[in-house]
Structure 1
Amino acid sequence: MTSGTESTRGARLAPPGPPRRATFGLLKKLFTDRLALMSDSAEAHGDVVRIAIGPKTMYLVNHPELAKHVLADNAANYHKGIGLQEARRALGDGLLTSDGEIWKKQRRTIQPVFQPKRIARQASVVANEVEGLVKRLRDARGPVEILHEMTGLTLGVLGKTLLDADLGGFTSLGHSFEAVQDQAMFEAVTLSMVPQWAPLKKQLRFRESRDDLRRIAEELVEQRFANPVENGEDVLSRLIDSAGTREQMRDELITLLLAGHETTASTLGWAFHLLDEHPDVAAKLRAEADSVLGDQLPTHEDLHRLPYTARVVEEVMRLYPPVWLLPRVAQADDEIGGYHIPAGSDVVVVPYTLHRHPAFWPEPEKFDPDRFDPDRPSGRPRYAYIPFGAGPRFCIGNSLGVMEAVFVLTMVLRDLELRKLPGYDVVPEAMLSLRVRGGLPMTVHTRNRR
């Protein structure tokens, strides 16, 4: 299962990993290139790696069956870990950061909002929002910052589909969430050794952003109390009906606003980058859009008629999974792949490296949407591909996110061509989500459709 080592009950063997003398180099990678830290460790040491950096020890898990053990089979033993623990300062005990009975209650409260039939009914709302995006892009003068546009779009979709609210007036949301991610990752990589009261620019920006997010969430709650929706199916109505405290409602809303827009916006940013790099793939996607949609807006029924576009989305999330790291903390001693994992250990499943595991992905660095063609047998284990996580904490909004991504790519590429600025260097930045560092400026060109 891992490096030829058989699992034995009661084993106390420690996993392999970089030596202590490598601490300085590991610390540098932790600050500057977290993806390389994980990729290099897995390549050098196998599918279970012990990474010791100062007083902190992490256990990297990089095999489908071992990921299944942590995320599903023994999920009760693994609570939320590094990064998400630090994010709790801003997100509170929302669905993303909570554990145990609190998390179960929150999940039960919100789950009905994401029922397939309800999401299907939101397809026209998503299509109309994307139609507005296409018009804004077509009317743009000069380069546009695509990640900013995707953030605005996904927040707009989230507001209208899940909250029955217009988020257009809350223009600071994207910047505030960026500050939260920056601070959470800063605290994680510095092992929370920098005092939170320190007057650093990053910390001051975080506190301002946290207050801004709380203000927005409280305003949304007040608006709904003032204008209740009878038999409302949206998240706000569900939270009110659950009789939670105002603080609980605020935490849940902030979490939903972050998780509900950030992952899809990041995926779309990477998609436009990869499609610009691979015009042959873009041409196939456009041909499918022309054939299926013509001049019409997509419907939910069109999703199964856009299989190539869906494969593009899947392959984008393989190479650049928006949730690149699934951090956990072991509550009790465990054994993973024959190695002893002490209670209290940080255990990380890394979709970024798992999705590139050469044993399961031929030419893992190649952008090839057809590897997801159902007519091409893969033989891959189920947990070799986990862009939405897995187990009890499988992403609750995956179907909405996929529909949104398919609609955006289909409608934008049908009418427009987006091109990166010449010489612009696209670099991944591994924060709470995997985003393009510094944004993605692109020029917009109207497509000459025949």
Structure 2
Amino acid sequence: MTGVDSVPARVLPRGGPPRRPPGPSRVSTPVLLARMASDRLAVMTEAAATYGDAARLPLGPKTLYFFNHPDHIRRVLTDNSANYHKGIGLVHARRALGNGLLTSEGTLWRAQRKVIQPAFQARRITRQIGAIGEEALLLADRLRLSAGAGAVDIRQEMTGLTLGVLGRSLLDADLGAYESIGEAFEIVQDQAVFEMMSLSSVPTWVPLPLQLRFRKARAELNRIVAALAREREQHPAADGTRDDVLSRLIDATAGERDPAVRQDRMRDELITLLLAGHDTTASTLNWTLYLLDRHPEVGDRVRAEVDEVLGDRLPAIEDFHRLTYTSMVLQEVMRLYPAVWLLPRKALAADEIGGYRVPAGADVVLCPYTLHRHPDFWEDPDRFDPERFAKGRSAGRHRYSYVPFGAGPRVCVGSSLGTLEATVVLAVLLRRLRLSVPPGHKVQAEPMLTLRIKGGLPMNVESRN
């Protein structure tokens, strides 16, 4: 990646007035736009390697201000977070996702967070470990039936699993009754990324195949949300003490006079919550199983720990804290393949980040994928090494060099549930199964709303018992 204003990588300005970040010249915009559409991870990785910790990337009518140093992350997400609203991509994704917690701002966001936050309190989350273990055991038993019968698409299986867990743990509902929900979410995510890449420049009435599929998927999700709400309203808790998200949303929207507006509010919240909640954890589990297959010595060590801690029973909350190496593995997976790989923001007012000038209205992007591979903060950063997260080695590491759940006021509300779920599911599956990618199959990252595995993850199943 070449152009004007380039500087050697890792050179930060020291003293003096703030200056403009380096980057390619605007004549490179057509090539840059094409590459962003086809290989976004490569563009961000090359920008960090070429220009250092700050870069300007001209993308047609937009210019991205890309920052990649932990101090920059802290400035945007924590120290001056009030100056940064959700930015390029997520704003445009509202046409697909609606105005839920992921895309909303200001007073609306605070109100939505207040409604949902209690469902993620630590005491309530720890009570979900039984439901998570049961769902994982059902998946393990189902996969056992496929042992020796050819590869199974683990990405699809994980989608079903994580939706089932979210249904039970957050909604107190059985989402398995809605077989179309996984495919509908897939289509909504595709549409959201299309809106992000096209900056919502294509009218929704244009009958592109993707948009036609999206309309059907959106209608199906509307139907599912209405059915869930109707069932809950018809069968409330006898003592009125239900504290799940669905019940809280019903209560929060009860004062809305327009039934259509109420439906839209519930739909937007549930679509956002379920899409973000199930896809992030599924992505982490998929990458974990892939990396354990690539590094069998790590997989064997996880199995040994799980065998010792659990034996043949399902995990209890006390076991969660004893699965220390399993936790280290998951942390390393989220370092290399963070589910939320890009954090776009828009600067409301002019700012200075690391000595660089950021104008008002600028589109700012942070990239956990490149940050987590920053050579100044991670030794041999592309190597899979769970020992990085051992107590002795992690001491003194910059707090903002690792942000798989974001940071600051908008840190992921579901991080505790996601961590618990990934740990329990991995323990249950590895206790009972060995999973391996078929020889010759190439696994490729696909940066959508989450960093998923492109085209699915076929794996052969072998029973351990």
TM range (shorter): over 0.9
Structure 1 counterpart of 2:5: none
1:364 to 381, 384, 400: 381
Q: Which moved more, 1:318-327 or 1:329-338?
A: 329-338
CA apart distance, 1:206: 1.5
Q: Do the aligned partners of 2:185 and 2:275 also contact (CA within 8 Å) in 1? A: yes
Structure-1 residue corresponding to 2:415 = 398
Contact 1:64 1:381 in 2 (8 A): yes
Report the Cα distance in structure 1 between the residues aligned to 2:95 and 2:351, rounded to whole angstroms: 29
The answer (yes or no) to whether the contact 1:420–1:442 under 8 Å persists in 2 is: yes
1:149 partnered with 2:157: yes
Amino acid of the residue matched to residue 78 of structure 1?
Y
SS in 2 for 1:97: coil
Between 1:133-142 and 1:281-290, the stretch displaced more is 133-142
Q: Distance in 1 between matches of 2:442 and 2:25?
A: 33
Unaligned runs of 5+ in 1: none
| Alpha-carbon distance, 1:368 to partner | 0.5
After superposing the two structures, state which structure 1 stretch, 101-110 or 197-206, moved more: 197-206
Tell me the secondary structure at the aligned position of residue 230 of structure 2.
Answer: helix
Aligned to 1:77: 83
3-state SS of paired residue (1:297): coil
Q: Is contact 1:18-1:41 (8 Å) kept?
A: no
- 1:363 Cα deviation (Å)? 0.6
Deviations 1:207-242 (A, max 9, x none): 221222222112211111111221111001111222
Q: Which stretch shows the higher mean deviation, 255-264 or 170-179? A: 170-179
- Runs of 4+ aligned residues of structure 1 deviating over 6 Å after TM superposition are none
Instruction: Identify which range, 34-43 or 81-90, moves more after superposition.
Output: 81-90
How many residues are aligned here?
446
CA shift at 1:191, angstroms?
2.9
Query: Identity percentage over the alignment?
Result: 57
Give the secondary structure class of the aligned counterpart of 2:11: coil
Aligned to 1:346: 363
How far residue 2 of structure 1 moved from its aligned partner, in angstroms, is 6.2
The separation in 2 between residues aligned to 1:377 and 1:154, in whole angstroms, is 30
User: 1-side partners of 2:14 and 2:191: how far apart?
Assistant: 40
Query: Which residue pairs with 2:275 in the alignment?
Result: 258
How many angstroms does 1:82 deviate by? 2.0
Q: Which residue of 1 aligns with 2:55?
A: 49
Which of 293, 303, 321 is matched with 1:304 structurally?
Answer: 321
Counterpart Cα distance in 2 of 1:400 and 1:69? 27
**Residues in 1 aligned to 2:284 and 2:247: alpha-carbon distance in whole angstroms:** 29
* 1:310-389 pair list within 5 angstroms: 310-389=327-406
Matched, 1:241 2:251: yes
Per the alignment, residue 288 of structure 2 pairs with 271
Query: Is the CA contact 2:444–2:453 (under 8 Å) kept in the aligned structure 1?
Result: yes
The answer (yes or no) to whether the contact 1:221–1:250 under 8 Å persists in 2 is: no
Shift in Å, 1:7: 5.7
Per-residue deviation at 1:134? 0.6
Determine which of 230, 235, 245 is the counterpart of 1:227.
235
TM-score of the superposed pair, with normalisation by structure 2: 0.93
SS in 2 for 1:417: strand
CA distance in 2, matches of 1:355, 1:431: 18
Call closer, same or farther: CA 1:100–1:327 in 2, change over 3 Å.
same
Q: Distance in 1 between matches of 2:230 and 2:11?
A: 56
> 2:142 — aligned with what?
136
* Cα deviation digits, residues 386-430 of structure 1 (max 9, x gap): 000110111111111111111111111111110111111100000
Paired letter, 1:113: A
Residue type of the alignment partner of 2:252: S
Q: Structure 1 residue aligned with 2:64, among 55, 58, 82? A: 58
Query: Which secondary structure state, in structure 2, belongs to the residue aligned with residue 328 of structure 1?
Result: strand
Offset from partner CA, 1:423-448 (integer Å, 9 cap, x none): 11100000100000000011100125
**Residues 129, 424 of structure 2: 8 Å contact kept:** no
- Give 1:378 shift: 4.7
Residue in structure 2 matched with residue 32 of structure 1 by the alignment: 38
Q: Distance in 1 between matches of 2:294 and 2:142?
A: 23
Query: Cα offset for 1:53?
Result: 1.6
1:20 aligned partner: 26
Q: What is the RMSD computed on CA atoms of the aligned residues?
A: 1.5
Q: Is the 8 A contact 2:347 2:359 kept in 1?
A: yes
Q: Are the equivalent residues in 1 in contact too, given 2:12–2:53 (CA < 8 A)?
A: no
